[in-house]
Structure 1
Amino acid sequence: MMRCYFLWILLLGLSGCATLQQVVEPPQVELTGIRLLPARGLTQQFEVDLALTNPNAVTLSVVGMSYSVSLEGHDIISGVANDIAPLEPYTEVPVTLVASTNLVSALGLIETFMRRPRNEVNYVLGAKLDLGTWLPPFKVERQGVIPLTRQ
């Protein structure tokens, strides 16, 4: 009989966790800028500007984040961060992160531009945000276009 009560409480607890997970919407991540930093050997560093938006009524504390940026289908930029300010309810927070790439892996992108020059670059931003809670990390993917012409 005691086992039955234990299983019943366990099932209620698990269903409650699943319900709460659906209540918290994932933060939104947008790429707002990329800047080159001085190269170090075969590694090129970038400053990546992101906008993190919290669409929830509760503060989200991001304890860690991994991210990558693909340009024209080439995985070029990746990085991690663990010093992100808490996302207050219904706010957008600008975040600047330092990311790196291996210049050898960027050769495919350079070849793509040499074969067909263009005025814009298609990108895919992938990010995983860990809130350090019982919730699993949120995975976000955004696509867009970066103009290469000066206005």
Structure 2
Amino acid sequence: MLRGELEKLSSTDDLTGLGNRRQFEQHRAQLEPGDAVLLIDIDHFKRVNDTSGHAAGDVTLQVVAARIRGVLRRSDRAHRHGGEEFTVLLRGVGETFLLEVSERIRQAVSAGPVPGPDVTVTVSIGAAILTGVNDAGALERADRALYRAKQQGRDRTCLARPEGAAGPVPG
């Protein structure tokens, strides 16, 4: 029993209750082609800390984590990647479903103010579908798509194009 508790402590983010980066890496190693990774960043999070204080920032992180978790399937895995960034790993999704989940997350996060600091936050999301077993480049592609979502005005999802693919990319 102690070993199980220690394993949970070593793989869980204390603040949000989501998996931590260590757990993310373990889950990512189990992904297969057709699975997907979302990289989620709270827009203008520094403003929350600067105007309302770090305690309000912590509450915001907890609320955002709960709202993300609340729209996922049981097979999906959410993690706090670091700071105000989260990752979600989705099993067996196509592009359409991936974008639907991203939109549900985006809407859930901005659905109302965060209690306490009474601020409404939005998220930008970068998404990538794995093209091969242990597709190490998927997270990097999702990160580039996240950067594009930020450049295009935030509060949106951008889908990464698989390496070498041509054509337009949604978002």
Q: What TM-score results when the alignment is normalised by the length of structure 2?
A: 0.29
Task: Specify which structure has the higher proportion of strand.
Answer: 1
TM-score, normalised to structure 1's length? 0.32
Choose 1 or 2 for highest CA Rg: 1
